[in-house]
């Protein structure tokens, strides 16, 4: 009985110390902690459809906060198929310079061992594609800035990284040098996860005709 009483009295101070440490630590953390401001939950950006009737339509964009602050306003007027008041963003890209006679000679000299002018347009287009795909190039950002196909090709041969648009420009130049009609085509995903034009690509079209 005395042994149990002694063991109880020995454990009691330990339990008291643990309890005091827990309460003290919690109190200090409660006093010392900083208030974290509440942040507004982000919502996914999405496309919204607004029917535009005949005449004037005012579209008001407000904040989702309690004060509903006005963020923007569009005043759109429709008369039949003509709609005014919608902002337009236009971007102009200068056309690619046509190949010079010297460029044609250069590109033909690079590819003449693998592609012949005596083959059909279809065969020429495919052989040029296969030939270019076997070149020793590497992909990497930001890619080449020049739109001059010969400069881009020389830079690629020097080891500079290229992107799909650079390869499309070179392919079109080789096609034109070998008597084909071709052009670079920009591609893109219109809307993905609520964002516009986030995934883009570039390719080439070849016009094959008899």
Domain ranges of the chain: 42-90, 101-207
pLDDT of residue 197: 57
Cβ atoms of 67 and 50 within 8 Å: the answer is no
Closest CA to 164 of 172, 128, 74: 172
In the prediction, which pLDDT does 43 show?
46
Residue 95 DSSP label: P
Q: Pick from 47-61, 91-105, 138-152, 190-204 the range whose average pLDDT is largest.
A: 138-152
- 177-190 pLDDT per residue, tens: 999 999 998 877 66
Q: Cα–Cα–Cα angle for 205, 208, 210, nearest 5°?
A: 165
Cis geometry, peptide bond prior to residue 198 (ω within 30 degrees of 0): no
Among candidate residues 152, 163, 161, 162, the one with its CA nearest the CA of residue 107: 152
112-128 pLDDT, tens digit per residue, is 899 999 999 999 999 99
Placement of tokens 């995903």 in the chain: 189
> Span 103-112, mean pLDDT?
94
**pTM, 2 dp:** 0.54
User: What are the pLDDT digits (tens) for 128-152?
Assistant: 999 999 887 888 888 888 888 999 9
* CATH class in words for 101-207: alpha beta
């Amino acid at each position: 009985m005395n042994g149990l009483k002694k063991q109880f009295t020995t454990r009691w101070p330990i339990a008291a110390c643990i309890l005091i440490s827990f309460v003290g630590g919690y109190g200090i953390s409660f006093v010392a902690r900083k208030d974290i401001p509440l942040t507004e939950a982000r919502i996914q950006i999405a496309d919204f459809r607004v029917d535009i009737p005949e005449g004037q339509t005012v579209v008001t964009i407000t904040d989702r906060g309690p004060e509903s602050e006005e963020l923007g306003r569009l005043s759109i007027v429709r008369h039949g198929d003509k709609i005014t008041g919608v902002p337009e963003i236009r971007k102009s890209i200068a056309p690619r310079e046509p190949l010079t006679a010297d460029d044609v000679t250069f590109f033909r000299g690079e590819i003449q061992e693998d592609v012949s002018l005596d083959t059909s347009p279809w065969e020429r287009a495919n052989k040029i594609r296969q030939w270019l795909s076997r070149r020793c190039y590497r992909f990497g950002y930001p890619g080449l800035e020049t739109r001059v196909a010969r400069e881009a090709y020389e830079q690629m041969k020097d080891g500079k990284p290229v992107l799909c648009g650079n390869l499309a420009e070179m392919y079109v130049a080789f096609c034109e040098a070998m008597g084909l009609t071709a052009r670079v085509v920009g591609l893109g995903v219109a809307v993905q996860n609520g964002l516009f034009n986030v995934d883009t690509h570039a390719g080439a079209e070849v016009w094959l005709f008899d």
